[in-house]
Amino acid sequence: MSQNLDARRGPSAAQLLRASMSPGQIIPFIGVYDAFSASIASRHFDALFLSGFGFAASHRGLPDIGFITWTDMLDFVGRVRRVAPRALLLVDIDDGYGDTEVACHVVRSLEELGAAGIILEDQRRPRRCGHMDGKQILDLDAFLEKLRAVLASRRDLFVIARTDASDPAEIVRRAAAFGQVGSDAVLADGITSLDLLGELRRAVRCPVAFNQIAGGKSPACGLSELRGRGASIAIYSTPCLFAAHAAMDGALRGLLESDGSIGAGSTPRTTLAQCNQLLFENLRATQA
């Protein structure tokens, strides 16, 4: 993606996202949890997902059950934007942080930061990760009131309305309502059957998104299958976080087993020179 996402010099990030969405195609958004993971992911993918799950883990060391504030998330987006200036950023804003006015303020602020889109969910607090048990959802009318306000407050930000309902009929009912009030896409999180994607595709005129997490409630599947079932956006919430978890655990276990040696038998896969190369490239990106 050669275009700069600075709205002062060209199309907005949301406009670039819409232009990237063509019939029969699917866009993968890769979940990142901090600026370092974003700088690595942006070398391989043009679209990044700023995951609430990943950020809660990295910023607070806590589960995704509502500890992240809107100011935390805006700071996170700003840091990622600086090191990955050309990436399309899709931001998880949970339930809009409780209050409709806060949600609208966050949306306007994210547009100023150059985000391409957001995901707004219909959970009520105490909230949970979409692939956890114990979720509670707002009455549909209450959520639609918030959703309408968010849609009215944006300039052109791409808004994905997410339902955490578990009953298939209720999922379809809510998704249809989200589409009718003007959402750019709909997402049913934590679904246990891919057959539901086809039902959603038939129920709405806007694109359908799908979110998968390793070990989550939804079946693991590839982009080709998702595209064939009608999904236009594939969200991968945690690949960077889970890879870092496993790699750090393995590296430190190896350090213990090698009596603290980082010699030939336990050489890390990344070296000082390689890490510095990435970090200095990030520095140049922030100065461009």
Q: What is the DSSP string of 122-160?
A: -B-SSP--TTSS---B--HHHHHHHHHHHHHH-SS-EEE
pTM (2 decimals)?
0.90
pLDDT at residue number 263: 61
Residue 35: predicted pLDDT? 95
Residue 271 has pLDDT above 80, yes or no: no
162-184: average pLDDT: 95
Q: Residue 150 in contact with residue 107, Cβ under 8 Å?
A: yes
Short-list 115, 117, 109, 108, CA closest to 155? 108
pLDDT digits over 201-222, tens only?
A: 999 999 999 999 888 888 889 9
Q: Which is it for strands 158-163 and 185-188: parallel, antiparallel or unpaired?
A: parallel
Tell me: pLDDT of 34 over 70.
yes
* The pLDDT of residue 7: 42
Residue 264 reports pLDDT greater than 60: no
User: Which residues does 250 contact at the CB level (< 8 Å), separation at least 6?
Assistant: none
Query: For residues 7 and 82, which has the higher predicted lDDT (pLDDT)?
Result: 82
Percent of the chain with pLDDT over 70: 94
Place of tokens 């980082």: 262
Confidence category of residue 177, pLDDT binned at 50, 70, 90: very high
Rounded Cα gap, residues 79 and 164, in angstroms: 29
Which CATH code fits 13-287?
A: 3.20.20.60
pLDDT at 84 over 50: yes
Over range 77-84, report the average pLDDT. 95
String of DSSP letters for 5-71: --TTSS--HHHHHHHH--TT--EEEEEESSHHHHHHHTTT-SEEEE-HHHHIIIIIS--SSS---HH
* Averaged pLDDT for residues 184-206: 92
**Structure confidence at residue 2 (pLDDT):** 36
pLDDT the model gives residue 4: 44
